[in-house]
Amino acid sequence: MLVTAGRVVTAPGRPIIENGAVLIAGDGTIGDVGPDPAVSARHPHVRKVSFPDSTMLPGLINAHVHLAFEATADPVAALRRGDHPVIRETITSHARELLDAGITTVRDLGDRDGLVGQVRDEIAAGTRAGPRVLSAFAPLTSPQGHCWFLGGEVSGEQQMRSAVSRLADSGADVIKVMAGGGRLTPKAAPVWQSQFTLAEVRAAVDAAHAAGLPVAAHAHGTDTMALCAEVGVDTIEHGGWLTGPTADPRCYDPRSDIADLIAARDIAVCPTRSRDWKAWPPEAGLDGLLERLSWMRSRGIRLIAGTDAGVGSGKYDDLVEALTLYEAAGWSTSEALATATTTAAAALGLGHEIGELTAGYSADVLVVDGSPLDDLEALRDVRCVISGGRLHSLPPAATA
């Protein structure tokens, strides 16, 4: 199949190809990219799908979702009382929502009973619609710690190593460690405090890396972020620099020494704070958040797009808010788009497979009306989605 568009963005920061074309090879990869006349001439007998007034770009990446969670005021209750068929239906519905929105890769960082992993495998086999899923299965947490109800409670270095080994054997793509407390589990450690010792997190990192798996560390607090940077996790989730419970500026401590260590070790940070950000009241601390995002970038930290979809009001079909938040913090539209394509792909260890429209890469393609390089809101006007070479059937409203 040959897909053509009025504009082709092969990757943020590269020259736009006017009247461009992308060949989707039979093995699900990109076979050719370039100006339409030249590509069409090289492949004259291939079926063509044309979008002359649209922009084609790489499929988007949401680096932090929870497919098993309902995006309600109390997602925990629904997850804990649901049986497996109900939760599987929730996961598959959310997977389709993501793909409808042009999101072709997600990293799921909190599963129950390996159900996301099952749906991941069905998507990969082509028997179910959805984006490519990187699954952490159950996150590792302290006894009765943050999200303990997902089944990942551990205590001590040996249990940590054993748990990582079990997850690796079960097919996890990434190891999630709840290094600090969180808001979903109010009786656990406060959100700004650590749940594990440095030695315990180091044991998880060493075991995961020995198994060839990256580590994503949940860390809101400054001290927890320092611990994670010291042991060399691969990504820090949330990364809020918190030292207390409120949005008061006195409860934040962005430390340059920690930021510099994060940057030096090439640890990406996924802030996950974009939900409804334009509607935040003044006391919610938006100005401070924008300042911290800009400051982290100035220290050389890679930031990537993730929404924590499924938690609170985190919607599955809206990654655009995360990108416009970066734009509000000083990113150009191209730089913001990179946080959900090339930069995110590299942070997830897939920079050689996804995140750009390049021959040999996975055929993850998004076509939208308008130009997202002029206005990121254009990403909401989805015309066509291809994931791993498979043309996705959009809902009728999306193609009307």
Q: What is the pLDDT of residue 75?
A: 75
- DSSP bridge pairs for 242: 221, 252
Radius of gyration of the chain (CA): 21
Burial profile 44-56: b = 16 or more Cβ within 10 angstroms, e = fewer: eebeeeebeebbb
d(CA 254, CA 261): 12
Nearest Cα neighbor of 9 from 376, 290, 318, 283 is 376
All domains in the chain, ordered by first residue: 2-59+355-399 (2.30.40.10), 60-347 (3.20.20.140)
Residue that has been written with the tokens 């609170």 in this structure: 312
- DSSP bridge pairs for 17: 8
Nearest Cα neighbor of 59 from 305, 369, 393, 367 is 367
Q: What is the pLDDT of residue 184?
A: 86
Q: What is the pLDDT of residue 80?
A: 80
Q: What is the pLDDT of residue 396?
A: 66
Q: What is the pLDDT of residue 395?
A: 65
Residue that has been written with the tokens 């890679």 in this structure: 302
| 109 secondary structure, DSSP code | -
Does this model's pTM top 0.85? My answer is yes
Q: What is the pLDDT of residue 229?
A: 99
| 247 secondary structure, DSSP code | S
Low-confidence ranges of the chain (pLDDT < 70): 313, 395-400
Q: What is the pLDDT of residue 79?
A: 83
